[in-house]
Amino acid sequence: MQLLRYCVGLDISKDSLQVCLSVIDTNGRVVVKGSTKVANKPAAFAQLEPWVSKHCKTDNLPLRYIMESTGVYHEAIAWYLYQKDQAVCILLPNKAKHYLKSLGYKSKNDKIDAQGLARMGLEQQLTLWKPLSKNIYSLRLLTRQHQRFQEWKTQCRNQQHALDYSAIGDDFITKQNAKLLAVYDQQLEALEKAIQKLIEEDTVLKAQVERLTAIKGLAMLSVAVLIAETNGFEGFANQRQLVSYAGYDVIENQSGNRSGKTRISKKGNSRIRRILHLPAFNAVRFGEPSCQALYERVYQKTNTKMKAYVAVQKKLLLLAYGLWRHQTMYDPMHSIQAKRETLSTSKSDQNDKKIVPTSGTTQDQSTVAELSFG
């Protein structure tokens, strides 16, 4: 019986790391080789490597570390291991949670969670983690701070609106709200300048942002959020993965003769969907060709404006991904010309082969159905 690889599961809290080292053999049997606990402090991370080496009896076997993304508490150990040239995998908490449920564990504690993570790392081929670059990490901090101030400003304005129309007002609170709104406006302006300065100082990032802002509806702040929240679209092998990460993937609810409501999952990065909300309106309003055509098709099919605007949001995301990945300048008419060529080719093929549709769905109807989600 031959051993295949080792995996270290890390269940992370604010103060400690629960560690479990497991190994898998050629028969698929997983064996726990040891468990320990170390402090979640950079000074204590040096204890981890000697402990792992002590329990890895077989040399030259692959070793990887797996953990959940628990706020910011996992970042220090993840960066430490990455700088030590260790293979690191970081999972979303809901993915690890569902896997642990599938194992049938009735109890839950840090030790069990660490064992489950180690087992998951052995049984599945997980994507290795790659940290954000320094500039993109700083950009993410700035854009998230901008979102927080924008939310506080909206909350303050709503509070003042309610106070203005209430039966009894209060001059003191009104003055406080006015001062807070002035502070929020000042800080939002400062954050936008800091974001612009960071982009201007990075020549590569600046060139990419200029490509993306050529799309009508996408401004500098919107593009900055997309770059920061996707790590410069790093780690996405295809469009489907990006759509799922943003929560735009479609969920069906059908069983037998029952056909429920089809909707987007919204199980993804909500900041991406939030920042694309207004750009979708602007893209349609200012006549971005592909977005406007998509909006009209979906609205004609569903008779629901919001569904059409959500389809435009997804379209903007995929346009940005394509321009970033291929590093090409934006051509507003490219997608429409490609679709026209595809339609003309399919129609000519049908005429040559004299194909008669066997169902009630026409070629135009099926094309609209395929393009309704961009």
* Per-residue model confidence as pLDDT tens digits over 43-86: 999 999 899 999 888 878 899 999 998 788 999 999 999 999 99
Structure confidence by residue, pLDDT tens digits, 150-162:
999 999 999 999 9
Instruction: Quote the pLDDT of residue 348.
Output: 55
71: left (phi over 0), alpha (psi -120 to 50) or beta: left
Provide the pLDDT confidence category of residue 327 given band limits of 50, 70 and 90.
Answer: confident
Residue recorded with tokens 């203005």: 164
Instruction: For the full predicted model, state whether its pTM sits above 0.85.
Output: no
Residues 150-177 have a mean pLDDT of 94
Sign, Cα dihedral of 78, 81, 84, 87: negative
Structure confidence by residue, pLDDT tens digits, 13-23:
999 999 999 99
Distance, CA of 244 to CA of 229 (rounded, Å): 14
Q: What percent of the chain has pLDDT over 70?
A: 89
Burial class (CB in 10 A: 0-12, 13-18, 19+), 317: buried
Instruction: Quote the pLDDT of residue 347.
Output: 56
Is the pLDDT at 311 greater than 60, yes or no? Answer: yes
18-27, 100-109, 277-286, range with the lowest pLDDT: 100-109
Instruction: Quote the pLDDT of residue 359.
Output: 41
Strongest mean pLDDT among 22-26, 59-63, 91-95? 22-26
